[in-house]
Copies of this chain bind each other. A is one copy, B any other.
Amino acid sequence: MTERMPDFDGGRHGHLVIVGGHEDHENSKEILSRFVQLSGGQGAAIAVITAASRVPDKMWERYDVAFREIGVREVIRVDLPDRATANDPALAVRVRACTGIWMTGGDQKRLLAMIGGTLLDEAMHAALKESGACIGGTSAGASAMCGHMLADGKADLLPEKGSVSLGAGLGFVQRVVIDQHFSERHRLARLLTIVAQNPYLLGVGIDEDTALVVERGVGIEVIGAGSVTVVDGRTMISDVADISTGGTPQLIDVRLHLLPAGSSFALSGEIDHPHQLPPGATHTTPAPLLDFVRNVTKRTSLS
């Protein structure tokens, strides 16, 4: 397979654009435009994977139109009627050559059942890690980015032991679990349920029309209309192991971070921070956020 080395800005590290669903695709297109920019701009070759959705034609049309309106000339439909197709070597070569790969919403379990562990999955990782491609996903496509993926279940008002299950995700980020439509669907209780039972995972809730933009090895940024919420249960005191299924765990000292659009944090100080610092100043990530930024920006080699 011939490697295609993109020459767009910053692309050498590889980016993730992790979107909380319902991103604007008709007007400002702020998030989709950023995804295109990080994929190489008008010269990008963008693959659209609609496998999460039960209405893939509608999803394809939406993003084909939006990306072309932004100016992308090469938008490629990755149609996956079955898992065998995701193991088609010719398809994998096409996706491997793309500079941007977009995963639509739908059901992350469906997406993983279709592509998890296939040649297509490998091609996506290679594109990101060896060629610095940009991987974007919205809603189900965002949750699917994690190694441990929020798969199923809900906790409406309070955390509820055993009510939410994890599955094996695509693993573009590790040691985090991502939920989407976060503030709009009041999903803190669901995220706390996961974190209570899996304190190893940092919980990340992304609002609608909001993206966590990750430059691997460098830093993160929040763009769009809402916020990214991070819950860190690593030092909490909890009785979750002792209570019955269905019970509400006692949680003491969960750390919560709210990062509105405009927030940005660099591992080594190279990103401006529009909120707290004067123009032109640089900063490093505050200590309470450091592991979160490290986890999502971590550059791992192909396994």
Contacts and interface: CB of A to CB of B under 8 A. Distances in A.
Interface of A: 157-159, 183-184, 186, 188-189, 192, 207, 226-227, 231, 237, 239, 242-243, 247-263, 275-276, 286, 288-289
A237 B286 contact: yes
A181 B248 CA distance: 17
A249 B254 contact: no
A274 to B, nearest CB: 9
A257 B248 contact: no
In the assembly, how many copies of this chain are there? 2
A178 to B, nearest CB: 18
A157 B181 CA distance: 11
A254 B257 CA distance: 6
A93 to B, nearest CB: 43
Contacts of A251: 256-258
Contact of A249 (B186, B242, B258): B258
A184 B157 contact: yes
A227 B237 CA distance: 16
B256 A249 contact: no
B254 A159 contact: no
Contacts of A207: 157-158
A270 to B, nearest CB: 19
A239 B157 contact: no
A157 B187 CA distance: 11
